[in-house]
Each structure stands twice: as C-alpha cells, then as structure tokens.
Amino acid sequence: MAEDEISQEEESVDAGSKQAAPSKAPPADPDFASWDDDPLRESDPNEALVVDVEGFEGPLDLLLAMARTQKVDLSKISVLALAQQYLSFIEDARKLRLELAADYLVMAAWLTFIKSKLLLPDEEDDEEGLSGEEMALMLQFRLKRLDAMREAAATLMNRKRLGRDIFRRGDPEPIRVMRRQIYDANVYDLLKAYAQQRQRNSVRAFNVKKRTVWSIKEARGELERLLGMAVDWAPLNDLFAEFLVDPEIRRTALASGLNASLEMAREGAVELRQSKVFAPLLVRRREGSEEGGTDRHRTAEETH
C-alpha cells in the first residue's frame, strides 16, 4: 500500500509540473471579489505564480510581491487567496526540485495553519491562542510594515547626494559682519554722565612735598660755631647769611636760629640786644660763660 501511494504521488507531481512550469499568472481582478465571495474555490494550477527565488530576500518579500499582483490595498487582501498562491508556489518549486530555504517552508506551514483556522468554524472553547481572523490581520500588518520600510528605503536612496548630484562652491566668500551702535539716552542720562566725568576729574590725590626743616639742635650747634669766631656784636641774620640763599631753607633757618639764640640767652651762654622794634637782632657770646653754658646745655639735653 505504501509503495502504491508513493508511486501515485510521484505521477501526480510529474503531471502537475508539466502543466505549471510553462504557464504564466494571468492578471488578477482589481477588486479581487472572486476570492472574497468564494474562499473555498479550488486553485487552478495554471494560475499559480511562477517566481524566481533568488530575486527575493525572504518569505515576507515573496508574500508582498504576490499581494501586489492582486492590485488591491494590503489591508483588503484575501489571506486565503494569498496563502493559496504561496502554497502553489511552494508546490511548483518542489516539482521543479528547487532547494528552498527553511524560512520559506516555515512560512508555508504558517499560512497553511492560517488557512485552516479561516476555513474551520469558530469554536467558543478554543484555547489555542489567536483566531484565524486575528492571525490574518497580523499577516496584513507585517506586509504593510514591510511595504512601508521598502518605500522609506527607496526614498532615502533616491535623495540627492553631495558630490554626485549637488556640489559645493569652490571658494565660498566670507560673511561680513557690520556692527552699528545705536545710542538710546535722554537728558537725564546725559547730565548724569557729565556729572560723573566732572567728579572723576575733580577728585585728585594731594601729595605734600617733604620740606627741609632745621631742628633747634642743628641751629644751636651752628650758632655756637659761628659765635666762637665772632668777637663783638653781630646781627643774627648775618651769622646765617650763607644758609639764607636757598629759598627752601630760608624760613626754617631763621626760625630755628631765633629759637636757638633765645634758648642760649636763657641759659646765659649768649647776650641779645635790639635797639628798637623790628631792628636787627644782635647777638654775642658772653665772656666766661663758655664752660658754664656748655654744661647747662648738656644738663638740659639730658633732662629732655
């Protein structure tokens, strides 16, 4: 029995290959009403789709090509008709003894399962998972997504490319940036700026120049030296005449010399005389007072 069945199958395969190989698929109806009206119709072997397997990338590409031959929207295709065409293609490929990839066979088995789910009546206690309609909708969604991906890839590849379709300028010109200042101010701002400028210039640092000052001690030492050379009365201004030439030390020399002479007169070291008011002040050394005056001067310095 088994050998008879195998021989019968081989004869049917040879007969089907002779009829399906030279045929071409006729154009499908745009509305594809025949598949929707009679999904249980037997497929004609002459209408089977003859496809070159090397021109496709996978089972979804093959299904997409077959769905496009129906010339209808992917959302309106008949899954039964699509499955029937796919199974016919697989059967013809087997008859032609082509080596098919495993994913094509898996897709064929899955479409056969979908076809059986669509043909069998719905059962309320079906616990196998998705129904036939849900699986058909899933297949339609995958076909639509594949079609969108192909269109996006074609759009991307057809865009203009730099260096092939469009070219850059050889020597781009630099962009000139022109800046113009616009002042926005009123009278109050002008007066404020003027006041700040005036205040900045009016405030100046005052540096007091250091003046040359004679101390009383320096004037007394110089007066004692000059009185040692004088014998009679001598005007105080004449004694400091050599120091009164420079205007910077003229006043300090006269003031310090007068204070030194008054201090020496108080100590009894010198004598002072003036004939009238604003008359020249005369000074001379008191006789016999050199040692005493010097001792008193030393005592006063030690006290201070």
Considering its fold, how many domains does the chain have in total?
A: 2
Which range is most confident: 16-25, 92-101, 154-163? Answer: 154-163
> Does residue 279 register a pLDDT over 50?
yes
The proportion of the chain whose per-residue pLDDT surpasses 70, expressed as a percent, equals: 52
Is there a domain that residue 206 lies in?
A: no
In this predicted structure, what is the pLDDT of residue 152? Answer: 92
Same domain, residue pair 35 and 141? yes
Nearest Cα residue to 60 out of 140, 121, 114? 140
Tokens for 79, please give them: 């899954």
pLDDT band at residue 138 under the 50/70/90 scheme:
confident
Task: For residue 238, give its domain range.
Answer: 216-303
Is there a domain that residue 191 lies in?
A: no
Is there a domain that residue 161 lies in?
A: no
Is there a domain that residue 124 lies in?
A: no
Is there a domain that residue 174 lies in?
A: no
Give the type of residue at 10: E
Distance CA(76)–CA(85), nearest Å, equals 16
Same domain, residue pair 236 and 105? no
Same domain, residue pair 137 and 242? no
pLDDT band at residue 291 under the 50/70/90 scheme:
very low
> 39-59: per-residue pLDDT in tens?
434 444 444 444 444 455 556
Contact 249/243 with Cβ under 8 angstroms?
yes
What CATH number should be reported for the domain holding residue 265? 1.10.10.580
Give the type of residue at 144: K
Instruction: Tell me the pTM.
Output: 0.30
> 189-224: per-residue pLDDT in tens?
889 988 888 888 776 777 878 878 888 898 888 888
Is there a domain that residue 91 lies in?
A: yes
pLDDT band at residue 181 under the 50/70/90 scheme:
confident
Same domain, residue pair 141 and 53? yes
Same domain, residue pair 220 and 299? yes
Same domain, residue pair 141 and 238? no
Distance CA(260)–CA(254), nearest Å, equals 10
pLDDT band at residue 239 under the 50/70/90 scheme:
confident
CA 245, 248, 252, 253: dihedral to nearest 10 degrees? Answer: -20
Distance CA(25)–CA(92), nearest Å, equals 13
Alpha helices in the chain (DSSP H): 2-20, 33-37, 59-69, 79-95, 102-119, 132-157, 187-202, 216-229, 236-239, 247-267, 290-303
> Does residue 245 register a pLDDT over 60?
yes
Computed over every residue of the chain, the mean pLDDT equals 69
Same domain, residue pair 144 and 220? no
In this predicted structure, what is the pLDDT of residue 225? Answer: 85
Same domain, residue pair 141 and 250? no
Is there a domain that residue 17 lies in?
A: yes
